[in-house]
Amino acid sequence: QKEVEQNSGPLSVPEGAIASLNCTYSDRVSQSFFWYRQYSGKSPELIMSIYSNGDKEDGRFTAQLNKASQYVSLLIRDSQPSDSATYLCAVNSQIQGAQKLVFGQGTRLTINP
């Protein structure tokens, strides 16, 4: 089982709708969770971080964390074509005796005008 799993997509959403991206993780004691956006040919950029159960909102973005079910999700409201990108989930995990951030493979999101 991969430590951090995401549906690779592509996920296609009409403009103005809500895009929902999901991520599951295997390390029950993970404490830090991040969402990165990566445009084609560019580097990943941090868009959300979440550390506690529940929802965290930042503009059109909402991160949701459920530690009991070991999943974290990202909702994008009022999706815009500029939101078309690959979204990477990152979770801290204990690997080989050290804490590291582990990335999922990313979900490719396309917003259709």
Residue numbers at the binding site for other proteins (CB under 8 A): 8, 31-32, 34, 42-46, 49, 88, 90, 92, 98-101, 103-106
Which of 21, 39, 41 shows the shortest CA–CA distance to 90? 21
Select 50 or 76, whichever has its Cβ closest to other proteins.
50
Minimum Å gap between C-beta 20 and other proteins is 20
Minimum Å gap between C-beta 69 and other proteins is 21
Minimum Å gap between C-beta 12 and other proteins is 19
Select 23 or 79, whichever has its Cβ closest to other proteins.
23
Minimum Å gap between C-beta 35 and other proteins is 10
Nearest-angstrom CA–CA distance, 29 and 94: 9
Select 32 or 66, whichever has its Cβ closest to other proteins.
32
81 phi and psi, to 5 degrees? -55, -30
